Structure 1
């Protein structure tokens, strides 16, 4: 394993400049929020009855995070559905807000949904950096967020998460679909800027939580354990383990996992030597899920599987999210 304090070796391995993209997460959020929240939408776009968000892979990070953050926490009263295929749900009509999400703009499944949404007369908006989707949105004069990813030098969609998450939050807030306090966005940006000292590449491994975890996860299968409003964020962290670190990883959410996962820890017999469970704790979890989280930790320990517990100290649902993502984004690079 590369010495995580050897910046010369790290730069040599980081041929696509992923590290700089991660460091610019605060700038991505700042740009995406200010630009997306300034978009003007027709009044009839604010009167829709349901939302279908179309996207694949890294382009769904924003959708998944928003669904678990707002819809899952019962903050929104409007159904939000994720569409990860070539076709839309049968209920989509003129009263549906269809959001087309593709970082590159060339995701074939999303383009197929775009054409169908137009045929059904849905209210269409989009978020993309260009490609076929940008052309489609411009040609049909659909109000959208087409961004210039100046703060993602790696050009990797999965590391441009600030654009896809905050761009979507900004548009939905502008439409009045979700409540967002602009002052809280500023606090998030300030917080993330400050964390660069503790989690950055210049902080030595002996004091850097991200580097410490990266070392522990060598030759292991990370199993990310969360509850309720962090389920979407867990997906957004699991995928980069696959794509960037080339490392198999899993995520599970309480309470659903309690109905199957723990019964599957016995076989194969050598499974335990590969697993490493990471439990993310939050005071904002539902009190029933907090109890389940502790019971789950106890069961995993009883199975002699190594674990790590990480407490997230955000004072609100939205503020907890960047605490989670900044720490875990830094880890998978190790």
Structure 2
């Protein structure tokens, strides 16, 4: 679990001035900004705008057309890889061909001219994505890239590959929305799923409402702020099932990278056959939290029942549990609502710990060592 210094803790808990009155909200904007000098909170607030901007950018890119019986492969790591998982979850039962996410250097043996490959790398210098893209292109696959620059942009320019150029200057995880929208459009171009441009636009409008409900100007007891306070000081396991499994992984990675918080993710149907045993043997169960991500519209009823029973059993061990329901009318709205909530909670968790949500010193060091 992440610790913090006494001064940072005191600063995060200090009352704030608001309209001549004092408030004890430790997650009011001034308190968040003290731990967040590069204002990642504003990047979270901008997610609806990112969705709209991505739609506009893609209107200017000519994607490959043709027959792609191999479906869509998304090669990426971090937020880029998550985009493939979320895309598959959003399309769900509407998929007409395979949609797969790959986190590795080498294409599968079946990647060929009948496969559509999307390779997002925000920096353009991710060695995993670059090597996969180069090999997939050599195998004759239809390849589309996404980046803010770097070697990926240079390679795409030399080879005449379609490229989505996204704005520079962000942390990669802060602009995952661009990769999700592009992956959805690539799925449509590959014949792997329907064209969901209208659904994405509606989701952007819906997220505007949630930004107001969960943002730093929201009440101290808003869902995002109360979740951050509940999770603070505990290790977290985020559980999903079916379409929410991909979003559970987003909760884990955002709490890790943004919140500097020990967190894991798991799928209930699998975890019930082994991982569940661990909860009954923790030395300090109160120092762990279990989150359950629910979408009753899209999850199998028996899967939901398993989640309910699993939550009851874990709560019985003395570990805190929280049940989080997806919001929205469409599948896209519901899953993106859970993504947005994870991003708010991770920034708020960092603020409570007095750590900079943008700092990634060890990741940067590893990338330097890899070269």
User: Please, what TM-score do these two structures have when normalized by structure 2?
Assistant: 0.82
Structure 1 residue 66 and structure 2 residue 81: aligned? no
2:302 aligned partner: 288
1:138 aligned partner: 157
- SS of corresponding position for 2:229: helix
- Unaligned 5+ runs, structure 2: 1-8, 14-25, 349-371
2:39 aligned partner: 17
Question: 46-55 or 135-144: which moved more?
Answer: 46-55
Give 1:52's match in structure 2, choosing from 66, 70, 73: 73
Question: How far has the Cα of 1:192 moved from its partner?
Answer: 1.1
2:312 aligned partner: 298
Contact 2:124 2:149 in 1 (8 A): yes
Question: How far has the Cα of 1:48 moved from its partner?
Answer: 4.2
Q: How many residues align?
A: 325
Measured against aligned partners, the alpha-carbon deviations of 1:198-217 in whole angstroms (never above 9, x if no partner) come to 21111231x32111111111
Quickly say closer, same or farther: Cα 1:259–1:203, change in 2 above 3 A.
same
- Aligned equivalents of 2:150 and 2:44: distance in 1? 23
- SS of corresponding position for 2:37: coil
Give 1:78's match in structure 2, choosing from 68, 77, 97: 97
Question: How far has the Cα of 1:111 moved from its partner?
Answer: 0.8
Structure 1 residue 28 and structure 2 residue 43: aligned? no
Quickly say closer, same or farther: Cα 1:236–1:37, change in 2 above 3 A.
farther
* RMSD over aligned Cα atoms: 1.9
Give 1:104's match in structure 2, choosing from 111, 120, 123: 123
- SS of corresponding position for 2:93: coil
- SS of corresponding position for 1:160: helix
2:342 aligned partner: 328
Quickly say closer, same or farther: Cα 1:180–1:96, change in 2 above 3 A.
closer
Question: How far has the Cα of 1:36 moved from its partner?
Answer: 1.8
1:182 aligned partner: 197
Give 1:94's match in structure 2, choosing from 113, 135, 140: 113
User: Please, what TM-score do these two structures have when normalized by structure 1?
Assistant: 0.91
Quickly say closer, same or farther: Cα 1:262–1:37, change in 2 above 3 A.
farther
- Aligned equivalents of 1:76 and 1:203: distance in 2? 37
- Unaligned 5+ runs, structure 1: none
Give 1:173-252 correspondences, 5 Å limit.
173-205=188-220, 207-252=221-266
- Aligned equivalents of 1:43 and 1:59: distance in 2? 23
Question: How far has the Cα of 1:42 moved from its partner?
Answer: 3.8
- Aligned equivalents of 2:282 and 2:290: distance in 1? 17
- SS of corresponding position for 2:243: helix
Structure 1 residue 279 and structure 2 residue 289: aligned? no
- Aligned equivalents of 2:302 and 2:28: distance in 1? 44
Contact 1:5 1:204 in 2 (8 A): no
Contact 1:55 1:102 in 2 (8 A): yes
Structure 1 residue 40 and structure 2 residue 62: aligned? yes
Contact 1:39 1:174 in 2 (8 A): no
- Aligned equivalents of 1:192 and 1:74: distance in 2? 23
Question: How far has the Cα of 1:174 moved from its partner?
Answer: 4.1
- SS of corresponding position for 2:30: helix
Contact 1:39 1:171 in 2 (8 A): no
- Aligned equivalents of 2:41 and 2:84: distance in 1? 24
- SS of corresponding position for 2:51: helix
- Aligned equivalents of 2:342 and 2:64: distance in 1? 38
Question: How far has the Cα of 1:12 moved from its partner?
Answer: 2.4
Contact 1:88 1:113 in 2 (8 A): yes
- Aligned equivalents of 1:121 and 1:179: distance in 2? 24
Contact 1:222 1:248 in 2 (8 A): yes
